[in-house]
Chain A
Amino acid sequence: MAVIFLIATLFIGILLYFNKNTSVHYSFVVLYAVLLCIFGVYEYYHINEIEFQFFKPDSLSVIMLLALCIVSIPAFYHAYRYIVTRDETPRSRGLFFASLIVLIAAICMAYISNNLAVMWIFVEITTLSASALIYHHRNIRALEGVWKYVFICAISITFIYIGILFLSLAMKEAGIDALSFDELMNHAGKLDPFWLKLAFLFIFTGFTAKMGLVPMYTAGIDAKDKAPAPAGALLSSILMNMGFVGIYRVYAIISKTEIQQWASTVLIISAVLSIFVATVYMTHIKNIKRMFAYSSIEHMGIVLLGLAVGGIGIYAAILHIVLHTFVKPALFFQFNQVYRVYQSKSIYDVGHYFKYNKAGAIVILLGFISATAMPPSGLFISEFLVFQSLFEAHRFIILLVILILLTMIIWGFGSNIFKILFTPPMIIIKKQIPRISPWDSVSQYALLALAVYLAYIPPAMFVQLIQEAVKLIQ
């Protein structure tokens, strides 16, 4: 199925790029969405079956894959709305949809690949397709964003490659000859700790560019800012999940060896620094889209903290990243409507959003409550579990620091969000404001509700999948 899916993606992508007919474009995108859902469900029912030697959907990849399917469908709808409202040329529309589906397919494949080298290839392809999305507007700012993104991702991919080389040096001694995760997990004890440490450092640094953590988070912020909002939603949810899957799988190998403690310290340092960086920017940021992007960095820091501390934290980390996958795109999708009203990303130009689009304003409010993990939101549960794991591990100082930083983030986030919703804007030309249909906000409500549902009344199959994924570590 994986191969059929890849070939179909390639085929649809090429047709989208070369065809200029409107209805053909949309019907192909719908076809692809259907195919994607079939693929997700198929992999769920064929869990842990090796396909085509390199692909093996385990529980972690199935969770991520299903989340990807759920987010992709509203993403396609909002991409369609985005294209329609802006009167794009057929050529740029074709390229936009083609790179969107290639990005999604590459992320799917990276989730389910069971071989580090194969995963690395798909990570490369995501850089390629994401750069086409970021450069969609073809102006100098977009060029700057895409240049930084491509350059930093190229360096990060080189880092992952160096990590793979060090890992293979360790494997050479241990007598393992395939880079598959299963093989590495089974023989983890035999790997030389020195090479393993170097490999982990390089691979982790490489994946931080995709996941959005210190040290290589910078490129992702510009990318999410410059990419059209539906693409930005995907970049800040499923693409970050891909980075998480990469780090998770490598950490799972490390957790079977004696250097687990050292690796978890590295993760904690990176996590705390990420949350710190997010706090610094969130408290004085003036660009709404970049604010959402920094909020993602904060959440990734929390996820990594849960992963590093262990215990219940690993469960919480996976739960948190899945819920974040639903919450953050909702905010990005809604941003599109905000932009259509005010024609600006700056916090100074917006205000009184309740007056212009009631349904959308409620989405922003609920999205804010969800993203800052206040009690009715699903993220509250997962964040609480991360704090619990920190408490159980007697990491009180880290817990205290994180709580203070998160409070500051809520203040910064909140003051901007309430400015959008309630304070009157400085200048606004009322005649030019288009009427926004409340139907454009339906998918956001669904995503936010899904995040609450999964956290408070989790279906048995969801819990079971996460528990199986947790078993990879330890």
Chain B
Amino acid sequence: MSDILLIIFAISLLFMSIANRIFTYLNILIFQGFILFGVTFLALSEINTINLVLILLETIVFKAIAVPFFLKSIIKRNKITREAEPYLPNFVSLIVVTLIIVITIMMSSQINDTNLDKTIFVVSLSNLFTGLYLIVSRKKIITHVIAYLVIENGVFILSLAVGNEMPMLVNLGIMLDIFASVLILGIFLNKIGDVLKDPDVSQLRNLKD
């Protein structure tokens, strides 16, 4: 069951690579948040209940509800245009993301480690690299933030691989989430909206040598 969820999670990355509108990205983020809820529930069977409830609440409240809706409100308030504005055509993005997934699968077949669930390894690493690819290939700051959240989701899945033995690490991952959401979203997107009318990276390109 958990494998099926994770595979759906990886497929959502392919969908994200060809999405045109920012709202589609956000909907995929919400979807990923719900899948994470399910995966967490299935994977972390051995930790104590209070901690599990905390982690589940974090996935559902932070990842699936609060952050995407906050981003939506920012987009509406700052009147950001709906296009994602990629530098590359969608077809190329699709091929790149597919290649990322294939390469991580090939990488995982090199590992002979019985302790590790390979699906987790593949899905989390492909999430990480897809996020990095989205950051370099999209123009808007808000898409960069969304791509960062995709990286966070991937890292969260990886943390589930050791979650039963070291629940502290999953909690640290939650701290990272909250840190990123509060710092990047709370302070800066608001400020960027105040100072810049159209939060586009091309306006933040003056600091160079």
Contacts and interface: CB of A to CB of B under 8 A. Distances in A.
State whether these chains interact: yes
A162 B207 contact: no
Interface in B160-176: 161-162, 165-166, 168-169, 172-173, 175-176
A241 interface: no
A281 B116 contact: no
Contact of B183 (A120, A131, A165, A172): A131
Taking residues whose C-beta sits less than 8 angstroms from the other chain, chain B's interface range is: 35 or more
B188 interface: yes
Contact of A144 (B144, B148, B175, B207): B207
A177 B165 CA distance: 8
Interface in B181-209: 183-184, 188, 191-192, 195-196, 203-207, 209
B158 interface: yes
Nearest to A160: B176
Contact of A169 (B162, B168, B205): B162
A285 B209 contact: yes
Given A140-B196, A147-B192, A161-B155, A173 B148 contact: no
Interface in A128-168: 128, 131, 135, 140-141, 143-148, 150-151, 154-155, 157-158, 161-162, 164-165, 168
Interface string A41-85: 000000000000000000000000000000000000000000000
Most chain A CB within a 10 A radius of its CB, from B113, B176, B207: B207
Interface string A103-147: 000000000000001001100100110010001000011011111
A290 interface: yes
Nearest to A194: B111
Contact of A147 (B116, B175, B204): B204
B192 to A, nearest CB: 7
A192 interface: yes
B43 interface: no
B152 interface: yes
B113 A173 contact: yes
A383 B158 CA distance: 41
A168 B166 contact: yes
Contacts of A128: 179, 183
A145 B207 contact: yes
Given A144-B204, A169-B115, A177-B166, 18 more contacts: A117-B172, A124-B176, A131-B183, A135-B191, A143-B195, A148-B207, A154-B183, A155-B132, A155-B148, A158-B176, A161-B159, A165-B155, A168-B162, A168-B165, A172-B115, A173-B115, A225-B207, A286-B209
